[in-house]
Structure 1
Amino acid sequence: MGGEYINLSSGNLIQEHLCCIIREKKPHPGVEAKRRWLAARLPEGHMFRKLNAKGCAFIEYAPLERAWVPVMGENYLYIYCLWVDGALKKHGYGQELMEYCIFDARSKAKSGICMLGADKQKAWLSDQSFAQRFGFQPVDRTEDGYQLLALSFDGTEPRFAPRVRHPELPDQQLTIYYDMQCPFILDRVDKLRAYCTEHAIPAAFVLVDTLAKAKSVPGVFNNWAVFYHGKQQTVNQLSPAMLEKLISRCDG
């Protein structure tokens, strides 16, 4: 316990690594895209706090009103991601990061903190059982098994945006919503575009590039959602081989 942490700012954003993908020399296009996205978000109150170490231990959150997620509410913080990985696990860093977020929320007189969860824990979601140890509880649910977890300080509760409850599209073609918050996204999109072009698969890649678009996406996850035949098929990032299997399953 007692790690040394860094809060990203306009002054240190260029030189600090972003935890998910660490490169020392050759720039990574996805990391640079995320860096540009962060540069625009930091003045809005976005927080990226990380352990001062070469590794993955960080928390990322923002005021809910400015958070790029289809969640509505007032005076809350929204946790995008709390992730500790590899050799940094089991040192108490996750607890310290969560405690900092709670302290930050209380010091700013926030009504609470919320985050995305699921009826069954997803590998890409922050550990909801860990969050529940701090008092987070489900306050809203979707029909396809996702939860909105909240730690309320004053009894108020956030909620999913209306379109989240029925994640469907009128268009039947392959449609992928994405943004640049995750550094893995850019490479995924480039490879899937190339695959769809090569195999003559009609596809729409919808860049979520404004807060308004993020608040109104027809699914729970703001930075990746795959629709086919008008229905949300997955929020997992796909390789071309995985997309081929998804299309085959849906068309079979």
Structure 2
Amino acid sequence: MELIRITRENIEKEHICCAISSNKDCQVQSKKAWLTERLDQGLVFLKGDVRGKCFIEYIPAEYAWAPIEADGYLYIDCLWVSGQFKGHGYSNLLLEECIRDAKSQGKRGLAVLSSEKKLGFLSDPKYLKYKGFQTVDAAEPNFRLMALPFETQTELPRFSPRLKQAAAQVPQTGFALYYTSQCPFTAKYVPLLEAICRDRNVPIQTVHITTTEQAQSAPCPYTAFSLYWNGEFVTHEIPSEKKFEKLLTDRGL
């Protein structure tokens, strides 16, 4: 498989947003705008020459949209290979290219957000361990920061000390939703969830994180989407309309 690196010159013609195909889709427009703004910071979106989920996205950790401290590392936003592309070694191909790139830049290693057990939207901890990653920090309820240092004496990444402080400042009444445009699906689903809450008279506050500084001071390690109810974390996985309505019903709302 040929790998294609997204640039300002080819971003309009290349398929980048998971299974979404049309450039007119609000999700595609949102994601491509977010990517374009990050390219000068060293963000890399590397994809297979296919129309589907087969890509890796990473950025120097100093610019990562996550509350971490990992100077000198590359931070993997997303490594996603699924559907018909699974089982062909493409995850290895993408990760190995990321490692090669990191070493060519003189980086200390790689960092990535995972979980205690495999969860949606997060890198598989079993696969990462197989590739040599180690767990270097943990955050409630089940987030794990994993790293692949290139040298044994290298300082390891950690979650930002500001994480607990930010979590304590989450609104204590109703839903609070923090999200970014890093994930294309938020452009579609955040307005839908807001509309459902309006229809049911359920209070919801949405916070669109639009800068690196805001993301690095966020209350949740996964900044693309984090949902709270009365100050308690609910999920980082974007629910469909049906799942969200069930979530409300289960809470008597």
TM surpasses 0.5 = yes
Equivalent in the alignment of 2:180: 179
Equivalent in the alignment of 1:238: 239
Equivalent in the alignment of 2:221: 220
Equivalent in the alignment of 1:105: 102
Q: Deviations along 1:122-170, whole A, 9 cap, x unmatched?
A: 1321222222222100000124121100001232111112243473424
Per the TM alignment, residue 250 of structure 1 is displaced from its structure 2 partner at its CA by 4.5
The aligned amino acid for 1:121 is: K
**For the structure 1 residues 51 and 158, does the alpha-carbon distance in structure 2 shift closer, same or farther, using more than 3 Å as the test?**
same
Per the TM alignment, residue 245 of structure 1 is displaced from its structure 2 partner at its CA by 3.2
Equivalent in the alignment of 1:95: 92
Contact preservation (8 Å) 2:69, 2:160: yes
Equivalent in the alignment of 1:164: 163
Q: Does 1:20 align with 2:21?
A: no
Per the TM alignment, residue 187 of structure 1 is displaced from its structure 2 partner at its CA by 1.0
Number of aligned residue pairs: 249
The aligned amino acid for 2:203 is: P
After TM superposition, the structure 1 stretch with the greater mean CA deviation from structure 2, 211-220 or 127-136, is: 127-136
What CA RMSD, in Å, does the superposition of the two structures yield over aligned residues? 1.7
Q: Which runs of 5+ in 2 are unaligned?
A: none
Per the TM alignment, residue 244 of structure 1 is displaced from its structure 2 partner at its CA by 3.4
Contact preservation (8 Å) 2:115, 2:124: no
CA–CA separation in structure 2 for the residues paired with 1:250 and 1:216: 29
Per the TM alignment, residue 212 of structure 1 is displaced from its structure 2 partner at its CA by 0.8
Write the mapping of 1:1-252 to structure 2, written as runs, cut at 5 A: 3-24=1-22, 27-154=24-151, 155-165=154-164, 167-168=167-168, 169-250=170-251
CA–CA separation in structure 2 for the residues paired with 1:32 and 1:243: 24
**For the structure 1 residues 216 and 37, does the alpha-carbon distance in structure 2 shift closer, same or farther, using more than 3 Å as the test?**
same
Identical columns (%) = 37
Contact preservation (8 Å) 1:51, 1:58: yes
The aligned amino acid for 2:235 is: T
Q: Deviations along 1:7-37, whole A, 9 cap, x unmatched?
A: 000111111011403325x621111100000
**For the structure 1 residues 81 and 68, does the alpha-carbon distance in structure 2 shift closer, same or farther, using more than 3 Å as the test?**
same
CA–CA separation in structure 1 for the residues paired with 2:17 and 2:241: 25
| 1:117 match: secondary structure | strand
| 1:213 match: secondary structure | helix
**For the structure 1 residues 250 and 158, does the alpha-carbon distance in structure 2 shift closer, same or farther, using more than 3 Å as the test?**
farther
| 1:55 match: secondary structure | coil
Contact preservation (8 Å) 2:196, 2:245: no
Contact preservation (8 Å) 1:76, 1:113: yes
| 2:55 match: secondary structure | strand
After TM superposition, the structure 1 stretch with the greater mean CA deviation from structure 2, 139-148 or 33-42, is: 139-148
Contact preservation (8 Å) 2:177, 2:225: yes
Q: Which runs of 5+ in 1 are unaligned?
A: none
Contact preservation (8 Å) 1:19, 1:57: no
CA–CA separation in structure 1 for the residues paired with 2:38 and 2:70: 19
